């Protein structure tokens, strides 16, 4: 019995990387009975008689798991964010950051399309980047799009980690990957069509070696998934609010109308970003008005 990591899944086969070699395996029948699906990124125990034949025997405990893309044990998510075309919104960016925080995945922000804005507009993004770095998020922002300084910063961030790349359609995810790893030559827009040819849609998910790390090749992690958290928990996913919440006068303070609120004090002092607080309030209202989902799938 050996241990390894699932690097690719395709039509019921799982390619496992172990000690420098790849082994093609299937999942044991009892996984299906127990409704357990092995995921790309899973650390597993497996048995194989040859590199082409083997069986997964056990899935080791996961740190986290996503449904879109279906991957496990992800360390970080790079949020690829265009500064223009599609139009930039702090609301969308914050929702993506929250989606990552809820999944216990460390966010990284990468700004694209900086050639489409003038110097004045670029200054507002410089200010924004400072705000997000202060929270603790790594931010890649360069005046020239895909400048080597930003790419080198991102390569350092990717090294030794497992990463998902996410962002709106048109934000430049494939272009970014091509700049990071030219040998991949991901034709923008061609990947999805190639995978969807023919009647049988091939569900291929894989982790690709990029910049001494592994990157899930399936974008698709979005912030449009309905957040299924209680509105009272929302503040936990804003790291800067969470850091000072213990100083609020009331336990369980939701930072709206309560007196003695440390979050609102910091906001008034200009220490927190107004856009973050505005987006927090908007999401809080959305979550409050959400109908409870009783048959929520675990």
State the CATH number of the domain containing residue 19. 2.40.50.140
pLDDT digits (tens, 9 = 90+) for 125-157: 999 999 999 999 999 999 999 999 999 999 999
- Looking at the fold, whether 282 and 243 belong to one and the same domain comes out as yes
40 and 95 share one domain: no
Q: Are residues 88 and 202 in the same domain?
A: yes
Is it the case that residue 241 has pLDDT exceeding 70? yes
Instruction: Give the residue ranges of the annotated binding site.
Output: 112-115, 167-175, 248, 253, 255, 261
3-state secondary structure of 204: strand
For 260, the domain range is 231-289
Our CA angle for 157, 159, 165, nearest 5°, is: 60
Same-domain check for residues 244 and 201:
no
Tell me, what's the pLDDT at 197? 44
In this structure, is residue 65 part of a structural domain?
no
CATH of the domain at 263: 1.10.40.50
Whether residue 88 is found in the same domain as residue 187: yes
Contact 290, 226 (CB under 8 A): yes
Residue 222 domain-assigned? no
Binding-site annotation: residue ranges for GTP: 112-115, 167-175
Regarding whether 172 and 81 lie in a shared domain, the answer is yes
Judge if 122 and 41 occupy the same domain: no
Answer whether 0.85 is exceeded by the pTM: yes
Model pLDDT, residue 69? 80
Q: Between the CA of residue 240 and those of 21, 28, 114, 262, 284, what are the distances in Å?
A: 43, 45, 27, 11, 16
| Domain CATH for 205 | 3.40.50.300
164 or 223, which is more confident? 164
Instruction: State how many domains the chain has.
Output: 3
Give the chain's mean pLDDT: 89
Same domain assignment for residues 53 and 85:
no
pLDDT in tens, 201-234: 456 888 988 999 999 866 555 555 667 889 999 9
Q: CA end-to-end span of the chain, whole Å?
A: 31
Q: Quick one: 267 and 204 in the same domain?
A: no
Domain edge (last residue) among 216, 249, 276: 216
Q: Indicate the annotated binding residues for Zn(2+).
A: 248, 253, 255, 261
Based on the domain organization, do 203 and 235 belong to the same domain? no
């Amino acid at each position: 019995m050996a241990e390894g990591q699932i690097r690719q899944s395709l039509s019921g086969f799982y390619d496992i990387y172990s000690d420098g070699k790849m082994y093609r395996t299937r999942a044991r029948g009892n996984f299906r009975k127990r409704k357990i699906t092995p995921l790309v990124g899973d650390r597993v125990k497996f048995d194989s008689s040859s590199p082409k034949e083997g069986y997964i025997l056990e899935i080791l405990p996961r740190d986290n798991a996503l449904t879109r893309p279906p991957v496990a044990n992800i360390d970080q998510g790079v949020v690829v964010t265009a500064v223009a075309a599609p139009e930039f919104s702090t609301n969308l960016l914050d929702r993506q950051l929250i989606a990552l925080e809820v999944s216990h995945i460390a966010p990284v922000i990468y700004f694209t399309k900086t050639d489409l804005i003038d110097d004045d507009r670029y200054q507002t993004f410089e200010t924004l980047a400072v705000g997000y770095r202060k929270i603790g998020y790594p931010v890649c922002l360069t005046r020239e799009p895909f400048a080597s300084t930003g790419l080198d910063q991102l390569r350092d961030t990717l090294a030794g980690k497992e990463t998902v790349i996410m962002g709106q359609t048109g934000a430049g995810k494939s272009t970014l990957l091509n700049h990071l790893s030219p040998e991949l030559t991901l034709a923008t827009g061609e990947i999805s069509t190639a995978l969807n040819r023919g009647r049988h849609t091939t569900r291929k998910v894989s982790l690709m070696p990029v910049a001494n790390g592994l990157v899930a090749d399936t974008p698709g992690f979005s912030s449009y998934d309905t957040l299924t958290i209680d509105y009272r928990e929302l503040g936990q996913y804003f790291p800067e609010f969470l850091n000072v919440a213990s100083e609020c006068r009331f336990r369980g303070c939701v930072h709206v109308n309560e007196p003695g609120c440390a979050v609102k004090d910091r906001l008034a002092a200009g220490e927190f970003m107004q856009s973050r607080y505005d987006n927090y309030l908007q999401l809080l209202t959305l979550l409050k008005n959400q109908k409870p989902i009783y048959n929520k799938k675990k």
